[in-house]
Amino acid sequence: MKLTDKTDNYRILSVYIDNIMRKTENHEQQTRLVFDCYTIVIVRSGKIHIEESGQQRILRKGDAIFFEKGKMAIGKALKGDECWIIIIQLDGKGVPGMLQYLHIQDGERFNVSGNVLAAELDSMIQTWEAGEYFRASVMLQSLLLTIHDTRGTDYRSLDLNTIYEYIQEHYAEPLDLNSLSQLYGTSVSYFSRAFKQHFGTAPMTFVNEVRMHYARLFLTTTEMKVQEIAGHCGFEKMEYFCYVFKKMEGCTPSQYRLNRWHADKNPRNTDSD
């Protein structure tokens, strides 16, 4: 068998690459990703939001994620980003055993941004695209072994600044500590502590600060009802929205709107005593 052959004989390898694809994502559309084979998604530039089986993840440049066979996910670049991803599909009777040996599980994330890993990855892709499928499949196993050997480093899929930006962009959507810590890739307690140390405020306090900023804006620049504004700011219940607003602003949303209306109608004369 030639190293460039891709026949049924090629597929009797214990582990083989079925396909490698390059895709570009943008925030204006989402892509449905169906994984008929074991799949590794690698982000080469930008950031992407991936949702699979109710699990939400954000991956940035250099991050990778593994999916078992039969999975389906939705991928979408974050606002303002164009994201370039590599999709590596692999199969073979030896894959389950290899994954068990390397302790790679469904949904597991790892990082391939190191110089050695990035060089191995690029070399493997170039070999595949040159038509040397057998050699590329062997190189993939070597790449996964290198990932296993270097995984002692505490790689997280994204930094706190990305979470900060995510909250500002998605304030109108359901956000809680569980979902935010899941995006960060750690426990709730670790994420809460890290966020507060970095920004000086608790995660949900910041979420509410962002929401109140837009609530004030909607109250003073639109004629939307308070209940509508609550929904536009990520609150399912108007009562809770009013509670948070009064706690942070010292008055109800309706009072705030009325106060601002009176202030705009009767501006104070700054020249008078």
Q: Are 164 and 196 in contact (CB under 8 A)?
A: no
pLDDT of residue 12: 66
CATH architecture of 10-150: Sandwich (2.60)
Identify the pLDDT of residue 151: 60
pLDDT of 254? 95
The token pair at 9 is 């004989």
pLDDT at residue 272 tops 50 = no
Instruction: Determine the pLDDT at residue 80.
Output: 67
Instruction: Give DSSP secondary structure letters for 220-243.
Output: HH----HHHHHHHTT-S-HHHHHH
Q: What is the pLDDT of residues 78-132, one digit of tens each?
A: 766 688 899 999 999 899 999 888 888 888 888 787 667 788 899 999 999 999 9
Runs of H (alpha helix) within the chain: 95-102, 115-129, 133-150, 160-169, 177-184, 188-199, 203-221, 226-232, 238-249, 253-265
Domain boundaries, the chain: 10-150, 160-265
pLDDT in tens, 219-238: 999 999 999 999 999 999 99
Q: What share of the chain has pLDDT > 90, as a percent? A: 37
Q: Is the pLDDT of residue 269 over 60?
A: no
pLDDT tens profile 134-149: 899 999 998 888 877 7
**Lowest-confidence pick of 1-5, 79-83, 157-161, 176-180:** 1-5
Q: What is the mean pLDDT of the chain?
A: 84
- Strand ranges of the sheet holding 71-77, from the earlier edge strand across to the other edge: 31-35, 71-77, 47-52, 55-60
Q: Which pLDDT value is given to residue 243?
A: 95
| CATH number of the structural domain 160-265 | 1.10.10.60
In this prediction, residue 9 carries a pLDDT of 59
Torsion angle (degrees, nearest 10) of CA 102, 105, 109, 110: 0
